Amino acid sequence: MIGEIWDLIILSPMINILIVVSGALFNNFGLSIIVLTLIVRGVTIPLTLKQLRSTKALQELQPKMSELQKKYGKDKQKLAQEQMRLYKESGINPAGCLLPMLVQLPIWIALFQSIIRVLAVVPEDFLKLSGHLYSSWPQVFSLVPLNSRFLWLDLAVPDRYLLLPILVGGSMWLQQKMTTPKTGDPRQQAQAQMMLWVMPLMFAFLTLQFPSGLALYWVVSNLISIGLQYFITGGWGGLTAQAATKPAGADRKYIKRLTTAEEKEIDYADTEADIGADVGADIASADVATKEGARYQPSLRAMKRHPKKSKRPKRR
Amino acid sequence: MSKKGVISKALLLAVLLLVLASGLALPSCQTARSVPRGWSGVSVIDEALFLGSMEGKLVAIDGSTQQRLWPDVPFEQKQSGGFGCAQGTQAVAIYGTPAVTFELVYLTGYNGKAYAVNMETGALRWVYPREDELDPIVGGPAVLGDRVYFGSSNGKLYALDAATGDKLWEFESGDKIWGTPAVNGQTLYIGSFDKKLYALNVADGSLKWQFETEGAIVATPLVYDGAVYFGSFDRHLYALNEADGSLRWKYQADNWFWSRPLANDGIIYAGSVDGKVHALKTESGEVVAVFDLESPISASPVLAGGDVIVAAETGQVYSLSINPRQKKSLVNLEDEIYAPLATSDGVIYIHSADDVLYAVDARSGATLWSLELESE
């Protein structure tokens, strides 16, 4: 039953679209996979933007995290409470960064299943393809099996020249590096470093095992992420020492737009009186920092809730 | 929850995600793809049955006692030692039905090799190519006279000396060849993924004529009464004049034709993966009957006692007749069937996807015996 729903909603549409797009692009399945990647990333752009904002906010919370570390360094419990409070107030869910990846998991599985069916490698898989073709799309019957050659790759098998694992791992490392927050806490730094290396290495390893067509999707997807991050969050992020703290043009536009939207919703702000004095201090700090132009603080949601408090002078 | 906890959870999620992704298909020391298993049909000579098992073995069985004529002959190929994997061997998938003469049994493997085995002893006579290997061979061999013919995924059709395995000639098509050649007199017919059906001179492999369809061709052609009948992935069944390859007629179904059609008494029966057997007049292509089996048909049918015996992928076996027009359910093996059917003396031999060989009475549908080929 689940298999039938999967076939109907995800696998069959993907297979037919891949075939038709391939036919339109000179019978080039590699180009078809790239178009699929663009479509998927296009459809999930709201999630990606949310992730980028979360990542950006996480990066910019680091100075305040360091302050908390200094302030409550000895009281671990209090430190954890304050950190969580900071996350809540900033509207950040650190695990939210994984959502776009989780959403793409079914796409990876479906793409893998599509590749092994449309490229006619194992007869059992290829025979199953017939059940997925739309009878109302006569061209799909003429186009299969698709050509598995793309550049130096055979899209049905792992890259024998090992270039693709390097590209997958490298692009993922670059993307991760751009989003890795700088932190003064050595423990967090170590965790961030681990994340920075574990995922690229795992994907490079998977590239050695999976058909190149799937790895092609990963590379293109990573490149799209890098491009989006560069243009939306401003610069190379964690790749450079300063870039993480400077809002880029696009970012400033986003902040401005968000702030304008927030100003319209100011009236209900004082009804939420459950935020403590510490928060007020943080917000004040954010306000000052923004005015100074040195950095902008991400506690926009908190500002939205307490616009008046945010005008209070910084409390020391 | 502390930040450390949140990050740990995030990391755990990421790892879980990857494990899920890698769990798609990662048998140990295999790249992530399906493992080819094969669907060899059965060749019958007198009481002897020959077929390729899904463990990559040539099996010879005495049909009357169900005992092995000789120990199974295993065919193995080197398994590349992938990342962190030691080199080893793995069984060869056998898709083609063995071809049998009175002395040798011929077999083709997905490992890109063709073999000849002594029919009396099971001893290997020759292997082609002796060194290296071709691209995967999915179709079976065809033997006529002193020659054996087969096609490969490298797009070539090979003609070998049946006694020695020496190559006599080869013909290159534009794409993979997965079908089994059909030989009639001095002409060989073979379909290719390049959408063409080729007619070749068996003497030297020169092209007599070719006919292009709109889809890839896997189905083995049938030569009957001066015409060549074959199905294509463009969903059409074609009838060509044997002499010059001109089109007599074509007929459209709802999906691919994968299996070889069958002709009897002026009617051609073609099973399609659209789940129907299309019965057409051989002369005109006019529809006589369409039998809906409600399950894809990829196993070639056989003729037994004047009736057409056909198996659906689900394991349901039917007996079809035109006069009177009826679809009779013979037996449900509840086991997927992809291999071509075989028949001898009113018995149907069916090799299932679970690697079980069934002997079914063509008239009553009773299962006479079944044999699990998998070694214990």
Q: What is the ipTM of this complex?
A: 0.90
Say if A152 is an interface residue toward chain B (CB within 8 Å): no
Of the residues A243, A259, A284, the one at which a domain ends: A243
Determine the distance from the C-alpha atom of residue B88 to the mean position of all C-alpha atoms in its chain, rounded to a whole number.
27
A160 or A286, which is more confident: A160
Q: How confident is the model at residue A189 (pLDDT cuts 50, 70, 90)?
A: confident
Beta pairing, strands B156-161 & B147-151: antiparallel
pLDDT for B86 equals 56
pLDDT for A244 equals 42
Choose the most confident range, by mean pLDDT, from A217-231, A232-246, B78-92, B267-281: B267-281
Range of weakest confidence among A157-171, A299-313, B208-222: A299-313
Could you give the percent of chain A with pLDDT greater than 70? Answer: 68
Question: A84: which chain B residues are within 8 Å (Cβ-Cβ)?
Answer: 1-3
pLDDT for A293 equals 38
- A61: tokens are 């919370």
Tell whether A157 and A303 lie within a shared domain: no
C-beta separation of B153 from B177 below 8 A: yes
Closest Cβ opposite residue B3 in set A83, A108, A112:
A83
Domains contained in chain A, number: 2
Query: Is a pLDDT exceeding 70 seen at residue A82?
Result: yes
CA dihedral B17, B23, B28, B32 (to 10 degrees): -100
Tell whether A126 and A239 lie within a shared domain: yes
The reply to whether A236 falls in a domain is yes
Q: How confident is the model at residue B32 (pLDDT cuts 50, 70, 90)?
A: low
| pTM, rounded to two decimals | 0.80
Q: Domain containing A281: what range?
A: 247-311
pLDDT for A89 equals 76
The reply to whether A181 falls in a domain is yes
- Kindly identify which residue of chain A lies nearest to residue B36, measuring between CA atoms: A122
Q: How confident is the model at residue A103 (pLDDT cuts 50, 70, 90)?
A: confident
pLDDT for A313 equals 42
Cα angle at B76 between B70 and B80, to 5 degrees?
170
Q: Hey, what amino acid is at B352?
A: S
pLDDT for B135 equals 96
- Kindly identify which residue of chain A lies nearest to residue B31, measuring between CA atoms: A209
Scan for tokens 């304050």, then name that residue: A82
Q: What is the mean pLDDT of residues A72-95?
A: 76
CB contact under 8 A, B7 and A145: no
The one-character DSSP state at A8 is: I
Q: What is the mean pLDDT of residues A115-129?
A: 93
Rounded Cα distance, B18 and B102, in Å: 55
C-beta separation of A51 from A100 below 8 A: yes
The reply to whether A316 falls in a domain is no
pLDDT for A75 equals 79
Mean pLDDT, chain A, rounded, equals: 75
- Best of A75, A99, A122 to disrupt the B interface (most B CBs within 10 Å) is A122
CB contact under 8 A, A198 and B11: yes
Tell whether A80 and A214 lie within a shared domain: yes
Determine the distance from the C-alpha atom of residue B58 to the mean position of all C-alpha atoms in its chain, rounded to a whole number.
15
Q: What is the mean pLDDT of residues A165-189?
A: 81
Tell whether A274 and A148 lie within a shared domain: no
Query: Is a pLDDT exceeding 90 seen at residue A247?
Result: no
Query: Is a pLDDT exceeding 90 seen at residue A260?
Result: no
Of the residues A205, A221, A243, the one at which a domain ends: A243
Of the residues A188, A223, A243, the one at which a domain ends: A243
Query: Is a pLDDT exceeding 80 seen at residue B307?
Result: yes
Q: What is the mean pLDDT of residues B208-233?
A: 97
Q: How confident is the model at residue A233 (pLDDT cuts 50, 70, 90)?
A: confident
C-beta separation of A168 from A153 below 8 A: no
Distance (Å) from the alpha carbon of B34 to chain A's nearest alpha carbon: 7
pLDDT for A314 equals 42
Rounded Cα distance, B299 and B240, in Å: 23
SS3 labels along B249-282: EEEECCCCCCCCCEEECCEEEEECCCCEEEEEEC
**Cis amide prior to A211 (ω within 30 degrees):** no
- B366: tokens are 């009773």
Q: Chain B neighbours among A 40-69 (CB < 8 Å)?
A: 65
Nearest to B305 by CA among B363, B364, B224: B363
The reply to whether A179 falls in a domain is yes
Distance (Å) from the alpha carbon of B70 to chain A's nearest alpha carbon: 29
SS3 labels along chain B: CCHHHHHHHHHHHHHHHHHHHHCCCCCCCCCCCCCCCECCCEEEECCEEEEECCCCEEEEEECCCCEEEEEEEECEEEECCCCCCCCEEEECCECCCCEECCCEEEEECCCCCEEEEECCCCCEEEEECCCCCCCCCCCCCEEECCEEEEECCCCEEEEEECCCCCEEEEEECCCCCCCCCEEECCEEEEECCCCEEEEEECCCCCEEEEEECCCCCCCCCEEECCEEEEECCCCEEEEEECCCCCEEEEEECCCCCCCCCEEECCEEEEECCCCEEEEEECCCCCEEEEEECCCCCCCCCEEECCEEEEECCCCEEEEEECCCCEEEEEEECCCCCCCCCEEECCEEEEECCCCEEEEEECCCCCEEEEEECCCC
Say if B129 is an interface residue toward chain A (CB within 8 Å): no
Say if A73 is an interface residue toward chain B (CB within 8 Å): no
Tell whether A254 and A285 lie within a shared domain: yes
The reply to whether A177 falls in a domain is yes
Distance (Å) from the alpha carbon of A130 to chain B's nearest alpha carbon: 7
- B182: tokens are 């059909």
Query: Is a pLDDT exceeding 70 seen at residue B57?
Result: yes
Domains (range + CATH), chain B? 34-78+90-144 (2.40.128.630), 293-376 (2.40.128.630)
Q: Hey, what amino acid is at A314?
A: K
Query: Is a pLDDT exceeding 80 seen at residue A226?
Result: yes
Query: Is a pLDDT exceeding 60 seen at residue A271?
Result: no
Tell whether A71 and A190 lie within a shared domain: yes
Q: What is the mean pLDDT of residues A117-128?
A: 93
Q: How confident is the model at residue A304 (pLDDT cuts 50, 70, 90)?
A: very low
A281 or A101, which is more confident: A101
Q: How confident is the model at residue A197 (pLDDT cuts 50, 70, 90)?
A: confident
Tell whether A149 and A14 lie within a shared domain: yes
- Kindly identify which residue of chain B lies nearest to residue A97, measuring between CA atoms: B10
Query: Is a pLDDT exceeding 60 seen at residue B261?
Result: yes
Query: Is a pLDDT exceeding 60 seen at residue B48?
Result: yes
Say if B229 is an interface residue toward chain A (CB within 8 Å): no
Distance (Å) from the alpha carbon of B213 to chain A's nearest alpha carbon: 9
pLDDT for A258 equals 43
Rounded Cα distance, B204 and B312, in Å: 39
B358 or A263, which is more confident: B358
C-beta separation of B235 from B213 below 8 A: no
Per-residue CA distances from B239 to B155, B211, B233, B247, B274 (Å): 24, 11, 15, 6, 20
Tell whether A160 and A115 lie within a shared domain: yes
DSSP per residue over A221-253, as a string? Answer: HHHHHHHHIIIIIITTGGGSTTGGGS--HHHHH
Query: Is a pLDDT exceeding 80 seen at residue B300?
Result: yes
pLDDT for A248 equals 44
Q: What is the mean pLDDT of residues A83-90?
A: 77
Q: How confident is the model at residue A98 (pLDDT cuts 50, 70, 90)?
A: low
Tell whether A251 and A235 lie within a shared domain: no
Scan for tokens 């008494």, then name that residue: B265
Tell whether A257 and A239 lie within a shared domain: no
* Residue A279 DSSP SS3: helix
Nearest to B30 by CA among B81, B92, B75: B81
* Residue B3 DSSP SS3: helix
CB contact under 8 A, B14 and A101: yes
Q: What is the mean pLDDT of residues B240-262?
A: 97
pLDDT for B11 equals 58
Tell whether A106 and A225 lie within a shared domain: yes
- Kindly identify which residue of chain A lies nearest to residue B258, measuring between CA atoms: A127
pLDDT for A7 equals 93
pLDDT for A69 equals 76
Q: How confident is the model at residue A251 (pLDDT cuts 50, 70, 90)?
A: very low
CB contact under 8 A, B255 and A199: no
Q: Chain A neighbours among B 324-353 (CB < 8 Å)?
A: 338
Query: Is a pLDDT exceeding 90 seen at residue B1?
Result: no
A56 or A170, which is more confident: A170
Say if A205 is an interface residue toward chain B (CB within 8 Å): yes
Tell whether A204 and A294 lie within a shared domain: no
